[in-house]
């Protein structure tokens, strides 16, 4: 995640699409504020075609121009997820900004070692990727039922990390870690953070936060941890 953010996202060249972008979108009857300022989805697609590659996402910077990058096309978007299934994985390595990256990596650093020590590196990596992918699938399902716009760009490792949190809460429920300098058992942390995701989903969600991906990842982590824990107990008998 860190390598992708600093080595790819931060070095990707920003390109500006000029006034023709706004004119083309007007002709295609799209509303700039609704589509670009909030959704980051390019319109029309040809507006961001460069060097034979389609760049699907465009962020409005004024009434006449927008900026876009190649790496933005690696995030997951409901509108074209079936055409770009690889974005279920690539989106897990993309982050909005440094704060987004730091928050995710801090939790991964704290929780990842606990789960890896409990189940081994191979099972840990499998759990991580399955949780991240299922988190993306959950968000696509939410777009299909109208809970999330199908133009929204979904990116970040938090779906996978919530899977790690769910697993840690099951495998090591009474292990103490510090959150905001307060000692808490993992089961309490899991209940608080995962419970908040359920609350946000049923109350409309947090702006700019993929609560559905968090919940989907957590479900995978919990189910996987229960299965692995029960399997280990049977082997001990």
Is there a single domain that holds both residue 69 and residue 97? no
In angstroms, how far is the first alpha carbon of the chain from the final one?
40
Is there a single domain that holds both residue 89 and residue 67? no
List pLDDT tens digits, range 103-162: 899 999 999 999 999 999 999 999 999 999 999 999 999 888 878 776 677 888 999 999
State the DSSP string of 12-52.
Answer: SPPEEE-HHHHHHHHHTT--HIIIIITT---SSGGGGEETT
Neighbours of 13 (CB within 10 A): 7
Is there a single domain that holds both residue 114 and residue 218? yes
Q: Decide: 156 and 132 in contact? Cβ < 8 Å.
A: no
> What is the rounded distance in angstroms from the CA atom of residue 223 to the CA atom of residue 237?
22
SS (H, E, C) 196-227: HHHHHHHCCCCCCCCHHHHHHHHHHHHHHHHH
**Number of structural domains in the chain:** 2
Q: Decide: 72 and 80 in contact? Cβ < 8 Å.
A: no
Q: Point out the domain boundary residue: 19, 49, 74.
A: 74
Is there a single domain that holds both residue 115 and residue 146? yes
Structural tokens at position 64: 């006449």
What confidence category does residue 225 fall into, taking pLDDT thresholds of 50, 70 and 90? very high
Is there a single domain that holds both residue 217 and residue 192? yes
List pLDDT tens digits, range 6-27: 666 665 555 554 445 444 444 4
Give the pTM.
Answer: 0.76
Q: How many residues does the chain have?
A: 237
Q: Which residues of 175-187 are buried (b: 16+ CB within 10 A; e: fewer)?
A: eeeeeeeeeeebe
Q: Point out the domain boundary residue: 51, 74, 97.
A: 74
**Helix 98-119 vs helix 121-144: angle between axes, to the nearest 10 degrees?**
130
CATH, residue 177: 1.20.1540.10
């Amino acid at each position: 995640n860190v390598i992708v953010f600093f080595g790819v996202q931060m070095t990707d060249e920003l390109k500006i699409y000029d006034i023709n972008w706004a004119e083309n979108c007007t002709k295609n009857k799209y509303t700039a504020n609704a589509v670009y300022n909030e959704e980051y989805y390019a319109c029309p697609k040809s507006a961001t075609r460069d060097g034979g590659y389609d760049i699907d996402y465009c962020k409005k910077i004024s009434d006449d121009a927008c900026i876009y990058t190649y790496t933005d096309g690696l995030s997951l978007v409901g509108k074209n997820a079936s055409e770009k299934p690889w974005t279920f994985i690539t989106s897990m390595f993309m982050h909005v900004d440094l704060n987004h990256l730091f928050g995710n990596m801090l939790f991964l650093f704290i929780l990842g070692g606990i789960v890896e020590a409990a189940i081994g590196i191979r099972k840990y990596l499998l759990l991580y990727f399955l949780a991240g992918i299922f988190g993306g699938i959950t968000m696509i399902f939410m777009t299909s039922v109208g809970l999330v716009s199908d133009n929204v760009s979904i990116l970040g490792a938090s779906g996978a990390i919530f899977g790690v949190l769910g697993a840690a809460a099951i495998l090591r429920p009474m292990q103490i870690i510090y959150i905001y300098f307060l000692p808490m058992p993992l089961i309490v942390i899991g209940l608080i953070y995962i419970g908040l995701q359920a609350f946000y989903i049923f109350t409309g969600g947090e702006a700019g936060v993929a609560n559905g991906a968090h919940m989907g990842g957590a479900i995978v982590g919990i189910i996987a941890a229960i299965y692995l824990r029960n399997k280990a107990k049977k082997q001990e008998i």
